[in-house]
């Protein structure tokens, strides 16, 4: 199977204490470019997330969005700082003695003094969070890959159809090429007669000139290589896997052969078919850019 580089996946895992939602979307890219957006408190898990995603993604620009909700009553605790409270009382007693005042401090008053009570964030339960984050990440990635595979199968069918059309164009050029020899011979004979005004023509010399012209216009080697590239592309599509780069390289080679055929063509019909070939190859190259 082959995969498209475009795709989308979403998955949510919710338990009593927390909920994690992961969304993934991707577009074409020459290499693997993964951007992860997640809450600051989950930054610790970024390397583990990237390692997990490597199991699912080889190419493409992928954006990953992770949201996290904590359902616990509070993720902070109150800390009583006895030493600070004792220091306040010590200095308040000292002040009362120095100024001849009554120390009328009350608990409610002392509790409001700075740092007597402080709020501390509880230690993050990394293991508990990962137990929710990991399956959410896997679920989103699997859904993401599933959409890529569906689109990839559509791309495969379209590319195979285009490759078959290219083979039809090649077959026409193959069938047309041998006929050019007789046409060259006929045109050359008429030209020589016109120039010499003589019906007596050296047939051997004529055949030699025809052979030279035919050799210059011969595209047999290009056609053989082009057919080979087309068949290799079809086999590669059937084999599947991460084949985008390989197919792109083959398409460049096919375009090179089509250009040579067009440059050698000394025949309108072959030129038209060569142009059709180049058009189909360009369509193939455009579609290949969507394959992982």
- pLDDT, greater one: 133 or 29: 133
Report d(CA 270, CA 273) in Å as an integer: 5
Report d(CA 277, CA 241) in Å as an integer: 27
Percentage of the residues of the chain whose pLDDT score is greater than 90: 49
β strands within the chain, DSSP E: 7-14, 18-27, 32-37, 60-70, 76-80, 117-121
**Per-residue model confidence as pLDDT tens digits over 50-85:** 999 999 998 899 999 999 988 775 566 778 899 999
**Per-residue model confidence as pLDDT tens digits over 7-55:** 999 999 999 888 999 999 999 888 889 999 999 889 989 999 999 999 9
Residue 104's pLDDT band (cuts 50, 70, 90): confident
Q: What is the mean pLDDT of the chain?
A: 85
In eight-state DSSP terms, residue 87 is: H
Report d(CA 167, CA 281) in Å as an integer: 11
Question: Which CATH fold would you assign to the domain 7-73+125-148?
Answer: Ribosomal Protein S5; domain 2 (3.30.230)
Report d(CA 261, CA 256) in Å as an integer: 9
CATH number at 149-288 = 1.20.140
**Per-residue model confidence as pLDDT tens digits over 180-204:** 666 666 666 666 565 555 555 565 6
Can you tell me which residue has the tokens 């577009």?
27
Asked if residue 206 has pLDDT above 60, the reply is no
Which residues, listed in sequence order, are joined to residue 129 by a DSSP beta bridge?
none
Asked if residue 233 has pLDDT above 90, the reply is yes
Residue 229's pLDDT band (cuts 50, 70, 90): very high
For the chain, the structural domain boundaries read: 7-73+125-148, 76-121, 149-288
Mean pLDDT calculated for residue range 103-118: 87
């Amino acid at each position: 199977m082959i995969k498209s580089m475009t795709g989308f996946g979403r998955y949510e895992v919710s338990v009593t204490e927390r909920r994690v939602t992961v969304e993934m979307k991707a577009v074409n890219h020459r290499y693997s470019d993964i951007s992860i957006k997640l809450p600051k408190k989950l930054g610790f898990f970024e390397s583990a997330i990237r390692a997990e995603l490597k199991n699912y993604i080889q190419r493409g620009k992928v954006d990953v969005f992770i949201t996290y909700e904590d359902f616990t009553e509070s993720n902070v605790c109150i800390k009583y700082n006895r030493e600070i409270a004792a220091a306040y009382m010590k200095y308040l007693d000292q002040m009362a003695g120095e100024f001849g005042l009554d120390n009328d401090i009350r608990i409610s008053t002392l509790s409001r003094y700075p740092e007597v009570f402080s709020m501390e964030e509880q230690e993050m339960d990394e293991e508990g969070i990962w137990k929710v984050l990991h399956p959410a990440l896997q679920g989103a990635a699997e859904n993401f890959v599933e959409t890529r595979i569906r689109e990839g199968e559509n791309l495969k069918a379209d590319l195979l159809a285009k490759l078959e059309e290219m083979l039809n164009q090649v077959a026409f050029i193959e069938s047309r090429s041998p006929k050019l020899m007789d046409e060259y011979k006929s045109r050359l004979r008429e030209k020589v007669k016109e120039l010499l005004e003589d019906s007596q023509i050296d047939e051997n010399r004529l055949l030699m000139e025809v052979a030279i012209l035919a050799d210059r216009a011969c595209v047999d080697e290009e056609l053989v290589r082009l057919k080979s590239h087309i068949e290799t592309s079809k086999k590669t599509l059937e084999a599947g896997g991460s084949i985008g780069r390989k197919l792109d390289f083959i398409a460049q080679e096919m375009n090179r052969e089509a250009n040579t055929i067009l440059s050698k063509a000394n025949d309108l019909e072959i030129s038209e078919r060569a142009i059709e070939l180049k058009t189909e190859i360009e369509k193939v190259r455009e579609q290949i850019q969507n394959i992982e």
